[in-house]
Amino acid sequence: MLAMNYRGPFRVRLDRKPDPEILHPYDAIVRVTRSCICGSDLHLYHGLVPDTRVGMTFGHEFTGVVGEVGSEVRKLKVGDQVLVPFNIACGSCNFCKQELFGNCHESNSQATAVGGIFGYSHTAGGYAGGQAEYVRVPYADVGPTVIPEGMDLDDAVLLTDVVPTGYQAAEMGGIKKGDTVVVFGAGPVGIMAARCAWLFGAARVIIIDHLEYRLEFARNYAQCEAYNLRSLGDPVLFLKKTTDHYGADVCIDAVGCEAAGDTMQTLLGRKMLMQGGSATALHWAINSVKKGGIVSIVGVYGPIDTLVPIGNVVNKGLTIRANQASVKRLLPRLIEHVQSGVLNPKGLITHRVPLEEVSEAYHIFSAKLDNCIKPILIPSAA
């Protein structure tokens, strides 16, 4: 089959790889119909996540058609059109029972933090991903969800990560009616988080980024205020001033370990790799939320040893909540939101690229060229 192949930092290409096979009675093989590139893939592409191995196929956001099922698969049938959550979850461990599907203990038994993830580094189990023609899907009766009749595949594929992650970011923020919410990062995840903040009753939603085209997109898509961090001087001071000097009720970090905006953090964490990435957005989130506020983190901090102002967390009495999105838990509600028109995920898609051009798609998304918000890859058979 054709599949994306990681060759080292900033180098990916399309290669022929062996077709995946059923390795376990609970597996299914899925023929991919759509697969996205995510900001999380960029951390891999930029060589920042430990144990990202040459030869890996990335891709944790995909839809497809079930081509084959293992002998113990009961719910899924050959021919089903499915969307597949990015978390690989067994469905029966202690964590899955609490609906913490992103923290499954079985799918990534080497680790005690994150569960298995498709197409990520070996720290997330080393499973091959969906930027390919076919993919092996373990625990096939647990994660994959049959795409409801009439739902657009472009909406469905965004229900595998971006929509639940944005929604969970807002949910973890504990947003109450009348709250002011600040979202750092106007990528697909941050824009979706801003959109979802309204659903929880926010009275004011502010998004911060340094890419003008994304701020403009966010203003239209999420109907929020949007500010360029480069023009704010000190973003923390600006946010304090605009919130009666108290700070925001909720701050959401939808940036993660590759934040711009602080020369020292960029130099030490992203250029010289002397600390694990830069935590500038998290820094700003902690410092611009009000005392007793909530910081919700969905930005990924894959590298270890990231420096954050932990003293201020203590002195301000903050609640910080973070996790990988628990996609399966949120899907029923989010499918309803898409079907009723409350959410319009496919509106985030700016680039539809043949799988053959995967290398170009990574370049455009990584370098933020051509007003790119969200690229999806389409195999020729789809």
Interface residues with ligand NAD (CB under 6 A) are: 38-40, 42-43, 161, 165, 184-190, 208-211, 214, 229, 254-256, 259-261, 280-281, 298-300, 324-325
Indicate left, alpha or beta for 53 from its phi (over 0: left) and psi (-120 to 50: alpha).
beta
Q: Which positions lie near Zn ion, rule CB under 5 A?
A: 38, 40, 90, 93, 96, 104, 106, 161
Q: Residue 106 or 179: which CB sits closer to Zn ion? A: 106
Q: Residue 75 or 230: which CB sits closer to ligand NAD? A: 230
Least distance between ligand NAD and beta carbon 129 (Å)? 14
Distance CA 133, CA 14 (A): 11
Residue 371, classed as helix, strand or coil, is coil
Least distance between Zn ion and beta carbon 107 (Å)? 6
Neighbouring CB atoms inside 10 A of 321's CB total: 17
Check if the beta carbon of residue 283 is closer than 8 Å to that of residue 309.
Answer: yes
Which of Zn ion, ligand NAD, none has residue 325 at its interface (CB below 5 to 8 Å by kind)? ligand NAD
Q: Nearest CA to 261 among 229, 226, 299?
A: 229
What is the amino acid identity at position 207? I
- Name the percent of the chain in helix, strand, coil, to the closest 5: 30, 25, 45
DSSP symbol at 205: E
The tokens of 86 are what? 């990015």
Least distance between ligand NAD and beta carbon 130 (Å)? 14
Q: Residue 40 or 265: which CB sits closer to Zn ion? A: 40
Check if the beta carbon of residue 127 is closer than 8 Å to that of residue 106.
Answer: no
Least distance between ligand NAD and beta carbon 375 (Å)? 10
Distance CA 147, CA 81 (A): 6
* Parallel, antiparallel or unpaired: strands 87-88 and 81-84: unpaired
Which of Zn ion, ligand NAD, none has residue 298 at its interface (CB below 5 to 8 Å by kind)? ligand NAD
Least distance between ligand NAD and beta carbon 86 (Å)? 7
Which of ligand NAD, Zn ion, none has residue 324 at its interface (CB below 5 to 8 Å by kind)? ligand NAD
Which of Zn ion, ligand NAD, none has residue 208 at its interface (CB below 5 to 8 Å by kind)? ligand NAD
Residue at shortest CB range from Zn ion = 38
Neighbouring CB atoms inside 10 A of 357's CB total: 16
Least distance between Zn ion and beta carbon 279 (Å)? 20
Which of ligand NAD, Zn ion, none has residue 255 at its interface (CB below 5 to 8 Å by kind)? ligand NAD
Q: Residue 104 or 128: which CB sits closer to Zn ion? A: 104
Least distance between ligand NAD and beta carbon 280 (Å)? 4
Cα-to-chain-centroid distance, residue 263: 25
Which of Zn ion, ligand NAD, none has residue 96 at its interface (CB below 5 to 8 Å by kind)? Zn ion
Which of ligand NAD, Zn ion, none has residue 327 at its interface (CB below 5 to 8 Å by kind)? none
Distance CA 196, CA 222 (A): 8
Q: Residue 250 or 300: which CB sits closer to ligand NAD? A: 300
Distance CA 269, CA 272 (A): 6
Neighbouring CB atoms inside 10 A of 291's CB total: 10
Which of ligand NAD, Zn ion, none has residue 123 at its interface (CB below 5 to 8 Å by kind)? none
